[in-house]
Amino acid sequence: MLSKSKFYLNYITKAGIILVVLLGLNASSSKMETYSTNENINKSIDLSTMAIYINQEEEKKANEEALQTYLWGSLDSYTGDLTGYGANCPLCSGRLACTGQDVRDGTDTYTDKTYGEVRIVASSSNLPCGSIIRFESSRISEEPIVAIVLDRGVLGNNIDLLTPSEEYAYKYVGRSKITYDVLRMGWEK
């Protein structure tokens, strides 16, 4: 058996060691707390979320580009004469052949659900009603003209642009050779 003095000495030594260990842990945890509360060091970034966001943005951009190509890409091109006409022309009824809409009030545009506000043209049955075309004519506009086929009355690949009046057609459209792109063939289904 241990003597009382050795027992107390052993007890004090163990207690001292435990105290030193506890003080050491307390000191090191104080440092950890100091580092953990430093807001400049502990900024965390969720890189996987950022990668998903970037991929979604890239996919969105690619989808937008694909949509623009789909909407504005040419399905076919034709060459023909461009002329103009007014709803008050001698052989005109004032109504569009494809829709029956009365355009004697000077209406020469149509609001398409996909292409927005477009001009109205007459074509032969080569282009189905609702077809969207794009052409350029510096006499009419500096920008390309987008139009929808809503009327009939011309032959072959010729296009007749609806204008507010016959006088306007003679003065600003006349007759010229154009090449036009077909962007949509007929009404969307």
pLDDT in tens, 80-127: 999 999 988 877 888 999 999 999 898 999 999 999 999 999 999 999
Separation of alpha carbons 138 and 97, rounded Å = 28
User: Coil, helix or strand for 106?
Assistant: coil
| Helix, strand, coil % in the chain, rounded to nearest 5 | 35, 25, 40
pLDDT of residue 94: 87
Separation of alpha carbons 173 and 56, rounded Å = 46
As a whole number, mean pLDDT of residues 147-171 equals 94
CB of 83 within 8 A of CB of 160? yes
| Residue 34 pLDDT > 90 | no
Separation of alpha carbons 93 and 104, rounded Å = 9
pLDDT of residue 77: 95
In single-letter form, the type of residue at position 30 comes to S
Domains with residue ranges and CATH for the chain: 75-184 (2.40.40.10)
* Res. 70 pLDDT band, cuts 50 70 90: confident
* Percent residues over pLDDT 90 in the chain: 49
Tokens of 127: 């282009």
Q: Mean pLDDT, the chain, as a whole number?
A: 81
pLDDT of residue 152: 93
CA angle (91, 97, 98) in 5-degree steps = 165
What torsion do the CA atoms of 103, 116, 154, 173 make, to the nearest 10 degrees? 80
Residue with tokens 């969720």: 46
Choice among 117-121, 132-136, 162-166 with the minimum mean pLDDT: 162-166
pLDDT of residue 35: 43
Which among 92, 104, 80, 83 is positioned nearest to 178, based on CA atoms? 80
How far does the chain reach from its first CA to its final CA, in angstroms?
A: 102
CB of 130 within 8 A of CB of 149? yes
What torsion do the CA atoms of 69, 136, 95, 188 make, to the nearest 10 degrees? -10
